[in-house]
Amino acid sequence: MNSTSGLPRQPRRAFLARGGAATTLLLLQPKGVFGAEANSQVALGLIGCGGRGSWIAQLFAANGGYRWVACADYFPDRVAAVGDRFQIAADRRYTGLSAYQRLLASPLDAVVIETPPYFHPIHAAAAVEAGKHVYLAKPVGVDVPGCLKIAQAGQQATAKNLVFLVDFQTRANDLYREALRRVRKGDLGPLVLGEASYPWAGGGRGLPPADPEQRLRQWYYVLPLSGDFIVEQSVHALDVATWILDAAPLRAAGVAGRKVRPQGSIMDHFAVTYWFPNDVSLAFACIQSIPEVKDEIRCRVFGAEGVIDTDYFGNVFIRGNEPFPGGNVGNLYTTGVQTNIREFHQFITTGNVANPTVAPSVRSTLTAILGREAGYRGGELSWDALLKEAKVLEPDLRGVKS
Ligand SMILES: NC(=O)c1ccc[n+]([C@@H]2O[C@H](COP(=O)([O-])OP(=O)(O)OC[C@H]3O[C@@H](n4cnc5c(N)ncnc54)[C@H](O)[C@@H]3O)[C@@H](O)[C@H]2O)c1
């Protein structure tokens, strides 16, 4: 990744040795014992063995630069499925709420965190504290204190020579990267306004279960665990918007409601207007569970000289005085992750700890939280007031095993 070049480099062996005991030992073996390939493998632990955790585990394994040595999940069935599939030793499979602590105390170099968003700041900060490199699913948190904890953990990671990567697929795509490079170069002229949207056929019409353990399985519908869908999902669109606009919003005004899921604990639609520095505005809308709707994660920003148009499921291009034909992003859901996995390995093995994904991911998650809070209030809220308020979302975990 070119935005991280220019950092002081360390010899790979010395760098990996800081990451964790597992690879330290491995790297000190003579090459002939394990072969060159095994010598460069990063020892990984997975926290959160659900849908995405088990899916991404396969992509890490296919990369060739990693080996799975430990896994953790609240539920034994989830841990067993991943453990069996990736031949993880029985005594390196951890369950319960404190599973992540036991995993972090065991010898490994890096962790992949695929738990519900509420737990991301807790799990990621503990991983950095334990000296592990971190690969983290979006969003970075569900509230302001959680996001600030991630910002701090990212800085601490850099100070401790650790890699911390947040897995936004758009940021890993060449078409997005090139289009953004051109925007920065000034190809759109002065930016005027933008629009972003995330209509989605999925989302379901479910309710949060009453059983405390089952709420961990159905966390999407539990507000303090997911942060509501504007944070959990729409952050993808808002991440692209804040990337293009290269700023955090100054304030937002919004509406939100439950017309599709009248009894849900999260909303089913939000419409938010954001105001950015230099009088640039962004109109944002997200809605879900609408049958047959075409899924889009769209962001368009207009400048005086042209417009950038992006869709996670479609094309990226610029029209105007300096056009960029761009193209179709293809299966970004998978290819974006494959690139992030490849770059995570590259950063670890070259000692590149600039960790450029952390600050923008904190910014975009906070932008989504600002939209959520403005929507809940049906009114206007400033960025500064949001940060000052520092509202905490706390799930009720009574009845859940430690
Ligand atoms: N395109 C994307 O970037 C993308 C797509 C899907 C999901 N995600 C993100 O991935 C994360 C996981 O989503 P998912 O769809 O796999 O959910 P999931 O429910 O399928 O998996 C989450 C797992 O975490 C476990 N878990 C819950 N609390 C835990 C705790 N305290 N400690 C250990 N394990 C715990 C659950 O038992 C479950 O197995 C979320 O943050 C989500 O936003 C990102």
Query: What sign does the CA torsion over 145, 146, 149, 151 have?
Result: negative
Rounded Cα distance, 324 and 390, in Å: 41
Please identify, by atom number, the ligand 1 atom nearest to the C-alpha of residue 55: 16
Q: ∠257-285-200 over CA atoms, to 5°?
A: 85
Q: Which atom of ligand 1 is nearest to the CA of 54?
A: 16
Confidence of residue 39 (pLDDT cuts 50, 70, 90): low
Name the architecture of domain 2-170.
Answer: 3-Layer(aba) Sandwich (3.40)
Same fold, 2-170 and 171-337+363-389: no
Residue with CA closest to ligand 1 atom 25: 48
Q: Which atom of ligand 1 is nearest to the CA of 169?
A: 3
pLDDT-derived band at 263 (thresholds 50, 70, 90) equals confident
**Is 27's pLDDT higher than 90?**
no
The domain ranges of the chain are: 2-170, 171-337+363-389
- Using left for φ > 0, alpha for ψ between -120 and 50, and beta otherwise, residue 73 falls in beta
- Residue 221 Cα to ligand 1 midpoint, Å, equals 13
CA of 54 to the centre of ligand 1 (A): 10
**End-to-end CA distance of the chain, in Å?**
40
For the chain, how big is the Rg over CA atoms in Å? 21
Which residue lies with its CA nearest to atom 13 of ligand 1? 52
- Cβ neighbour number for residue 346 with a 10 Å cutoff: 14
pTM over 0.85: yes
Confidence (pLDDT) at 208: 83
Q: How many CB atoms lie within 10 A of CB 244?
A: 25
Q: Ligand 1: does its nearest atom lie under 6 Å from the Cβ of 72? A: yes
> Beta strand 110-113 with 133-137: parallel, antiparallel or unpaired?
parallel
Going 64 to 70 to 73 to 79, the CA torsion angle's sign is: positive
267 three-state secondary structure: coil
> What is the C-alpha to C-alpha distance for residues 368 and 284, in angstroms, rounded to an integer?
10
The ligand 1 atom nearest the CA atom of 78 = 39
Q: Model confidence over 151-184: pLDDT tens digits?
A: 999 999 999 999 999 999 999 999 999 999 999 9
Given 3.40.50.1980, 3.90.1150.110, 2.60.40.1890, 3.30.360.10, which CATH number is that of 171-337+363-389? 3.30.360.10
Q: Which two tokens stand for residue 222?
A: 């539990």
Atom of ligand 1 nearest to the CA of 49: 39
With a 6 A CB cut-off, is 97 part of the ligand 1 pocket?
A: yes
Per-residue pLDDT at 26 exceeds 90 = no
| pLDDT, tens digit (0-9, with 9 covering 90-100), for 346-371 | 999 999 999 999 999 999 999 999 99
Lowest mean pLDDT among 109-118, 258-267, 355-364: 258-267
Which pLDDT belongs to residue 13? Answer: 32
Is 12 within 8 Å of 42 (Cβ atoms)? Answer: no
69 pLDDT tier (thresholds 50, 70, 90): very high
Please indicate whether residue 342, judged by its CB atom, sits closer than 6 Å to ligand 1.
Answer: no
- Sign of the alpha-carbon dihedral angle for 96, 51, 112, 136: negative
Output the CA 117–ligand 1 centroid distance in Å. Answer: 7
